[in-house]
């Protein structure tokens, strides 16, 4: 039987913007043994990709100590960005292969720091992709939470100042 140190924290994340770009919401469900925590957040003027990233960042930052983590996401952008693309972006000083600035670099750097905190001999983050809206109970719940958060955005919520939102046309 595994001890407390080896039981991974299971995380399901989702994010959305309605429309995209538009009002956004994110959600994370953290599971460890019999414990369950649901987290949500919301912003104005953001994108789906930024909300997907913020869900993972918020979940990893919420963990009080370095842990072994299995993080499920339905975002290939998030999973491939953190597991494959980020090393090349760093090597190219945050430029793409097409020599364009990497989008969402502020969140990629924050995500890398959150992941690094959990990298250790007996800990680390394993990234798993799952198909969205395919019947996985926790993924469906994260989707509902993120969508509800996006639909609950008011003018009191913060604007995502780093999101690449086009400015309104001048009149």
Q: Per residue in 66-92, is it b (16+ CB within 10 Å) or e — as a string?
A: bbbbebbbbbeebbebbeeebeebeee
Burial of 14 (0-12, 13-18, 19+ CB in 10 A): buried
Q: Which positions are annotated as active-site residues?
A: 14-15, 52, 74, 133, 143
User: What tokens appear for 10 in the block?
Assistant: 């299971």
Q: Which helix (H) or strand (E) holds 86?
A: helix 86-91
Q: Which helix (H) or strand (E) holds 147?
A: helix 137-151
Count of C-beta atoms within a 10 Å radius of residue 157: 18
Distance CA 10, CA 125 (A): 10
Distance CA 60, CA 4 (A): 18
């Amino acid at each position: 039987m595994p001890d407390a140190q080896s039981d991974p924290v299971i995380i399901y994340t989702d994010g959305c913007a309605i429309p995209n770009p538009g009002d956004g919401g994110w959600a994370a469900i953290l599971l460890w043994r019999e414990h369950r925590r649901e987290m949500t957040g919301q912003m104005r003027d953001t994108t789906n990709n930024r909300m997907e990233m913020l869900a993972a960042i918020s979940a990893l930052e919420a963990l009080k100590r370095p842990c072994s983590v299995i993080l499920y996401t339905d975002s290939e952008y998030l999973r491939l960005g953190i597991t494959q693309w980020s090393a090349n972006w760093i090597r190219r000083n945050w430029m793409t292969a097409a020599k364009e600035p990497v989008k969402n670099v502020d969140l990629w750097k924050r995500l890398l720091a959150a992941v690094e905190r959990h990298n250790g001999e007996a800990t680390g983050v394993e990234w798993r992709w799952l198909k969205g809206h395919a019947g996985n109970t926790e993924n469906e719940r994260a989707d509902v939470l993120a969508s509800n958060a996006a639909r609950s955005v008011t003018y009191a919520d913060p604007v995502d100042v780093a999101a690449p939102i086009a400015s309104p046309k001048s009149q």
